[in-house]
Homo-oligomer: A and B are copies of this chain.
Amino acid sequence: MICIGSELLSGKPNTHIDYFTRRLRTIGLPVSRCTTVSDSLPSLTEAFASALQRADVIISAGGLGPTFDDLTREAVCAATDRGQHFEKKLFDGIRAKFRYARVPMPEENRRQAFVINGADVLDNPHGSAPGQHLKLGGRSVYLMPGPFSEMSPMFESFVLPALRKQHGGKLSHETLSLHFAGLSESAVDEALQPVIKKASAALDFTILGGHGLTHFYATATAPSRAAARRLVAGVRRAMPNSLRSHLYSEGDPTLEAAVGSALRLEGRTLAVAESCTGGLLAARITDIAGSSDYFLGGMVAYSNDLKTFVLGVSPDTLKKHGAVSAPTALEMAEGARRRFRSDYALSVTGIAGPGGGTPKKPVGLVYIGLAGPDGESKVLEIMAHGDRHRIRSQSANAALDLLRKTLQK
């Protein structure tokens, strides 16, 4: 995999790598190397030339634009010792796109109508840069544009199906993805090691963790779809009982989607009251399309005054126990439930830092409150670790997980 662009080496996050590797895993194609390289012709040429010595399939993103520093076509020509030619029909198509958008076509875009000798053109419905596919004996080179919005439709409609046919053809693949909350990555790892150690060589495992969530992937490669399915089903069955109550999803890795599905299933509504997460919990919940079906609203109450006069937390509770305390968390949840007239309400109050910590209430101490129908309410104390960003993220995850476990019962 070759990601092209000086901006990727100047601090711009490269999200292509994660995307490619995740999608290619679904067809059982392992990525052995990703090279991120700047827009320089010698560097680019060397990157393609050395990749051609190592890999069966090379996928690139970037450097197909119209400007002088878009050099992917030239680099592939140099690395494979071939020329390129102008395709009138392609040029007419590019010109038509500009005409449709009522934008004059800059002369520079003519460069995008050049095709590497022997390559097929990959249509780009979302931009002016066409992709190219070059076959070299048994090897394939796919050149795609850099912007994600242009690259990913091309990848999904041309490249992935072609690779599935070419490389996933003889063998079938099936991925089991299990997502756990409330356990550290190493605890999940330890619990699953016996399963991993006993597993067939046709299974490949990955464990990723962070902010209180752990994601486990098992990919089976087998002669038939059924055989691959049996292999992952075996892994699923072998999952230790100790992990079952922590499993929040098989599929979608987000906890907010799991909680949303559970609320929808039960026909229940939710509201939140936040202090240290400052809106992050509500933002996570509403990141799910259709969340308005079960999420009524939220309240961010930073000051004690607001906790009292909007959420109805008793001034005595605040005075006696402080804003960061179990009784305050409980009253915030109960207040939000009343205020928003929801079935459930979650609250978060804690010390996200870097300031505000004391020996008795250090940075990372967070209380999660939950109020539910029939007067059931509970509170959870956690000690989150890391910087402000991580503490807030772990707190939001802990709150969502508390509700998930409650709904599961």
Contact = CB atoms under 8 A, between A and B. Distances in A.
Contact of A302 (B286, B310, B389): B286
A6 B277 CA distance: 33
Contact of A14 (B17, B300, B303, B386): B17
A11 B33 contact: no
A296 B289 contact: no
A281 B217 CA distance: 33
Interface in A159-208: 206-208
A297 to B, nearest CB: 5
Given A17-B9, A33-B35, A300 B286 contact: yes
28 contacts: A9-B31, A9-B33, A10-B208, A11-B21, A14-B14, A14-B17, A14-B18, A17-B36, A33-B36, A33-B37, A34-B35, A34-B36, A35-B35, A35-B36, A272-B279, A274-B279, A277-B286, A278-B286, A278-B291, A279-B282, A279-B285, A279-B298, A286-B300, A296-B303, A297-B299, A297-B302, A298-B299, A310-B339
Given A33-B37, A36-B34, A306-B296, A11 B208 contact: yes
Interface string A23-41: 0010000111111111010
A295 B47 CA distance: 50
A33 B38 contact: yes
Q: Does more than half of chain A's interface fall in helix, strand or loop, or is it mixed?
A: mixed
A302 B306 contact: no
Given A11-B18, A18-B12, A297-B300, A283 B280 contact: yes
**Oligomer copy total:** 2
Given A278-B287, A282-B300, 10 more contacts: A10-B22, A10-B217, A12-B208, A13-B13, A17-B36, A279-B280, A279-B286, A280-B283, A282-B283, A297-B299
